[in-house]
Structure 1
């Protein structure tokens, strides 16, 4: 029996309509029952009050006049009791149940006695069948009749068919009113749900029904407050998707662009080797081209993994000075080939919180880039500066070929100052990878050109204080 659940509860519109109509229907039914009860109580309350007033008037008349005179005066005062018909009736019984007095309207017939004993100081109301066959309403009272030792029971009855007709008309009016209000409420519910869901439908239509990610973000400011969290989440998802697509396109473009030259060099070296005896120089050039392609592919894959969030930083305490000395030793070989001096100003030790592998790769790329592009017989300066914000690594090398406008392009993939650098053994991704890894570690990599010297600043690294060893 689960088949109706999906069409009924499969959409927000259906759920809202069911909730609104069910709630309004329950409210209308409760209102109808309350009004019906209140109106019936008012109608029959008025009838009972009229009957009680007449019964008390009869009692007062009997207690203040002789019985025969009182009964004659009652018929004169209330002609309905004397002329007969089917409107008003009076009858009095003694304690034994014998009739003492009966109105002429009874036409010799007896009224139905009260279904229960009449209380001594309270009236008893009940419904009955009148002598003429119509439905009626009666009240019974106990009173001390003059000239008798026992108490008598007085019953005053009145036809209630007019009251019943009024009650039916009120019921019809209530039912018609409730049905009309229910239909109007249903129409208003449909309009309200449709109008309330219009922003949601417009929101769904604006998110890209063709499945393509949006280029422009959703206009969050013009949306209802309930939809803004969803719009913010979708905007963030679209931004990540656009970034991922951009990385894929950039990766394919970079691979196609950067591997053309090494592939051409390798092809030419192989062709030369096939024409005659293999030359060691030719084969060395082919191996160098292959190495360059390998570095290019490794760098592109690393950039893609880090930018896509596949690899995350693993922060732990590390000794920064020891890491910098290892990087200096690695860069000493290429720097020595170009007679570039590496000068470092470092403290004895400096403990920081970072990812050792990622931070070492950043420093290696910066040092290798400086060792390759610094002029021959120049000096690369490395310093570790400590401030209130943390530890900052500062690396500088002479860069006479750079202009101030070129500094903004440092860190772009495969950007080189001149075409002559295209054949360099450098992969062209070192600074780009260093910038990506710095962002992953929450660091800032900044380049500045000051008086012909290119300075790279990396930081701030969060230092940690180690507990002092106890004195021996």
Structure 2
């Protein structure tokens, strides 16, 4: 048996992966923003130092006076960091740090103007950050107006190592890398516990489901207060209800089958035993005809029970078509002529509309009509009159029922209930029950009432 997957582990893993992805994207974004901000601040500091250095360059009586700049240490404004600079003027004068920069941006002298330009220079041992721009040196304070020479345009290049900046950026990168890893470890350790705690309603539901089974068929799950489990609980209870209905139908079918076939099986056995013990002298064909009649009644009973079970389960497939109700009633009356003549029962037909058509399932509608007519023909007193009327919205069968009372009318259409046994004509005793089930399947309304003249009214209504 393979090891079952853990929902808590899967959720925890997905949470961990999601945290890593989100923190990874956040770390990359933060790294980009921090790098840009740090480099911008570094460039601003570099430019401020370059402009401060250029402000120390003066134009003296003999040209550029660089003594004050040369007296300044090369790590001006940078602590222990050594700065490299180079100044070139249009009159050919130059000034550079000691040592002078070896690696400089290509063509920086020609492209220099008042707007500063920046570039990274690879000096071999360390990365350098360079800034260059054009400026005009100030006149020396000790120079007189008559002695002032034209002020040439100069260009300055200042370079600083990026070592400290790169170290800071590397440390930030490490922090931004380690943080998601620590978050992943913490998430993987804590998430299973939190997820199992969050999935506790599932465990509770599983404990409730333990009590649901054949030993407690009507047991239902309590309504869950968890929003995600409420639909599951509702659907499961609906499934349990349908299963209970199916089990009840099976029990009713088995009970009805035993109830309805017991008498006819006894008749068949009695017929065989009597013929064997006390031969009646009838021919074999006559005895077999009686056995065939009993077998036909058994077949009719089983078929009726199966159809009734399918109707109650809602699995009988309906095939709607246009049905002529008048023709259907006339056809069924013809099939009952033998019963009507044998019991001397008259039929009074009252059609209030010609050509009544229904969009319905013909076979189920036929079951309703034939059972209503057969019930009236079999149970009406001998010599009585049956009234049959139909119109655009209903059909009614009326017959005298002197032995019925109001309480007994309420039982009509229920299984196993019969005022009298109807052994003649192979009646299985399920007619009205089948009619009620078929009417329910066709969305028709079938009712039974008893009027003051002790007449039974079977009313079938539909939407016109």
User: Which residue does 2:141 correspond to in 1?
Assistant: none
Is the CA contact (8 Å cut-off) linking 1:306 and 1:312 kept in structure 2? no
Could you state the TM-score of these two structures normalised by the residue count of structure 1?
0.78
User: Which residue does 2:146 correspond to in 1?
Assistant: none
Which residue among 374, 377, 397 is the counterpart of 1:371?
A: 377
User: Which residue does 1:251 correspond to in 2?
Assistant: 253
- After TM superposition, list the pairs within 5 Å mapping 1:56-455 onto structure 2: 56-63=51-58, 71-74=66-69, 79=73, 81=75, 86-94=80-88, 100-103=94-97, 106=98, 109-118=99-108, 119-121=111-113, 122-127=115-120, 136-144=128-136, 152-186=154-188, 190=192, 194=196, 199=201, 215-219=218-222, 222-224=225-227, 228=231, 231=233, 233-280=235-282, 283=287, 289-347=294-352, 348-386=354-392, 391-417=393-419, 421=421, 426-451=427-452, 452-455=454-457
Deviations 1:374-402, CA, capped at 9 Å, x for gaps:
2233322221144xxxx211112222322
1:295 counterpart SS class: helix
Is the CA contact (8 Å cut-off) linking 1:395 and 1:455 kept in structure 2? yes
Distance 1:66 1:430, change over 3 A: farther
Deviations 1:106-141, CA, capped at 9 Å, x for gaps:
3xx22234222223223333445789x666544233
2:344 counterpart SS class: coil
Distance 1:191 1:150, change over 3 A: farther
Deviations 1:55-84, CA, capped at 9 Å, x for gaps:
1122233146678985343466x5555899
Deviations 1:356-388, CA, capped at 9 Å, x for gaps:
3321221111111122222233322221144xx
1:246 counterpart SS class: helix
Q: Aligned residue pairs: how many?
A: 443
User: Which residue does 2:27 correspond to in 1?
Assistant: 32
Tell me how far 1:431 sits from its aligned partner.
0.8
Is the CA contact (8 Å cut-off) linking 2:415 and 2:430 kept in structure 1? yes
User: Which residue does 1:41 correspond to in 2?
Assistant: 36
Which whole-Å CA distance do the structure 1 matches of 2:193 and 2:93 have between them?
A: 69
Deviations 1:287-342, CA, capped at 9 Å, x for gaps:
65444333322321322343445542222112211211222233332233233322
Distance 1:148 1:84, change over 3 A: farther
Which whole-Å CA distance do the structure 1 matches of 2:378 and 2:83 have between them?
A: 126
Tell me how far 1:273 sits from its aligned partner.
1.0
Deviations 1:401-441, CA, capped at 9 Å, x for gaps:
223222232112221236xx386653111111111211222
Could you state the TM-score of these two structures normalised by the residue count of structure 2?
0.79
Which whole-Å CA distance do the structure 1 matches of 2:376 and 2:78 have between them?
A: 128
Q: Greater shift after overlay, 303-312 or 244-253?
A: 303-312
Which whole-Å CA distance do the structure 1 matches of 2:78 and 2:41 have between them?
A: 24
Deviations 1:246-301, CA, capped at 9 Å, x for gaps:
22222222222222222222222221211243355994765654443333223213
1:125 counterpart SS class: strand
User: Structure 1: which 5+ runs fail to align?
Assistant: 1-5, 463-472
Higher relative contact order, structure no. (Cα contacts within 8 Å, ≥ 6 residues apart): 2
Which whole-Å CA distance do the structure 2 matches of 1:66 and 1:334 have between them?
A: 148
Is the CA contact (8 Å cut-off) linking 1:93 and 1:153 kept in structure 2? yes
Tell me how far 1:210 sits from its aligned partner.
8.3
Which whole-Å CA distance do the structure 1 matches of 2:347 and 2:76 have between them?
A: 136
Tell me how far 1:222 sits from its aligned partner.
3.6
* Pairwise CA RMSD: 4.1
Which whole-Å CA distance do the structure 2 matches of 1:220 and 1:85 have between them?
A: 74
